[in-house]
Chains A and B, each alone.
Chain A
Amino acid sequence: MKDFEALKDIWHNQITLPKVSEEDVLIKLRKTKNGFANKLMMELMGIFLAIAVLMYVWISSPFKMWTTHLAMLIIIGCCFYYLYVQLKDYFRIKDDTLLNKPKDYIDYLKKYKSDRYKFNTRKYNIYTLFLSLGFLLYFVEIAFLVPVWVAAIGLIFTLSWILFCFFFLMKRYIRKEESRLEDMIANLERLEKQFKTEIN
């Protein structure tokens, strides 16, 4: 029979040592930092390029109908919205919530997950709606400028792609994310109970 002091002696006699040195951490830090910064930079450059092209088309093309101007405004607005979400998430990742008390940290994770869910569902629906509306309005003037069948093919192709993303890709993504979320929230709730201050 051993008492707790004996267990403590066993613990202190262990010779297991970490295999990671401070140099390894610094090397990993440089790699991670560059990797993340590059990825973010690529995404931001992509969206800036899209906005620049749209602006160029808008300014250089002699659009006559108000529907086209509204369409350009809506599509560019969607791009800016995407840019805003990217930047907001970037700053949220940088947030130092890791210094919070474990219970507060768990609450933060729960809030983050629920916000992600809202973004993937409600906000994505609104985003898709506006993007589709933008393209529909854009094709109104195009239909007067090019043969109707060309405009029709363009419109069908664009809307099919949006619908494919909405009904297939996004639904599949949401399903995966939802089941992942349910697991995570169940685990978080269990942990939250453990970290409650009351002693039963």
Chain B
Amino acid sequence: MLNKEVLFKEIFQANSKKIYHLCYGYTGSDDSANDLMQETFLKVWQNLEKFRNQAMISTWIYRIAVNTCLSYLRVEKRQGKEELTNQIMDNKSEEVSEKPEQVETLYKCISHLEENERIIITMVLDELPYAEIAQISGITEGNLRVKIHRIKQKLTELYNKYERF
């Protein structure tokens, strides 16, 4: 049990920041990102035995995080809450003082992407190797490259548009 806790702490410290970014990019909310990150690591703990033989533990953690994010959207919509994009915009305005303006704008632009695009681009921004992103999102590397190229263009255009106004 103690070994498991030590291992878990190491895993948490190595991955929590990136998983938080993924959750933040997906939900656009600090509170939701913290909740989702916590949920992800609860599941990591529950599945830790299965991870032990895996070479790329971060890939599996990311996959749990992605699936947790997808389930989160279900709950949000089910509860009849406002559209996620609107929610993101509101959250952004609340947190405006906490973040530099450019980061603020970048998250705002990410919120305009589709769900799977948000997930992929946060991993690209965090510099995960393409092979790993392909494995996490379950698409081939060739398709992923095309997809990433489009998302990069889309995000850059959005950002420059926002910055002009």
- CB of B67 within 8 Å of the partner chain: yes
List of A residues within 8 angstroms of B117 by Cβ: 194
Complex formed: what's the CA distance from A89 to B5 in Å?
Answer: 28
Q: Report how far A194 CA is from B115 CA in the complex, Å.
A: 8
Given A4-B155, A14-B103, A199-B146, A99–B8 Cβ distance below 8 Å? no
- Counting CB contacts under 8 A, is A175 at the interface? no
A39 at the A/B interface (Cβ < 8 Å)?
no
Question: Is residue B106 contacting chain A, with contact meaning CB distance below 8 A?
Answer: yes
Contact B50 A183 (CB under 8 A): no
Interface pair B9/A22, CB less than 8 Å apart = yes
Query: A105 and B116: CB pair below 8 A?
Result: no
Whether a CB of chain B sits under 8 angstroms from the CB of A19 is yes
Q: Is A104 an interface residue (CB 8 A)?
A: yes
A69 at the interface (CB under 8 A from B): no
| Smallest CB gap from A8: residue in B | B125
Please give, as numbers and ranges, the residues of chain B lying within 8 Å of A145 by CB-CB distance: none
The verdict on A199 contacting B38 (CB below 8 Å), with A2-B159, A101-B63 known, is no
Across the interface, which residues of A come within 8 angstroms of B34, CB to CB? Answer: 18-20
Q: Please tell me the size bucket of the interface on A.
A: 35 or more
A98 with B30: CB separation less than 8 A: no
Please give, as numbers and ranges, the residues of chain B lying within 8 Å of A88 by CB-CB distance: none
The chain A residue with its CB closest to the CB of B42 is: A29
Residue of B nearest to A184 (CB): B74
Q: Does B102 contact A (CB under 8 A)?
A: yes
CB distance from A188 to the nearest CB of B (A): 7
B152 near A199: Cβ-Cβ < 8 Å? no
Query: In whole angstroms, what is the CA distance A101 to B12 when docked?
Result: 22
Contacting A102 at CB < 8 Å: which of B37, B66, B140? B66
CA distance A68 to B163 in the complex (A): 79
Contact with A along B78-115 (1 / 0, CB 8 A): 10000000000000000000111011001000000011
Check A195 against B33 for contact (C-beta < 8 Å).
no
28 contacts between A and B (CB under 8 A): A1-B160, A2-B156, A2-B160, A3-B156, A7-B156, A7-B159, A8-B125, A8-B127, A11-B103, A14-B99, A14-B103, A16-B103, A18-B34, A18-B37, A20-B34, A20-B38, A20-B41, A22-B12, A22-B13, A25-B12, A25-B41, A98-B64, A102-B138, A104-B138, A106-B70, A183-B77, A187-B77, A195-B139
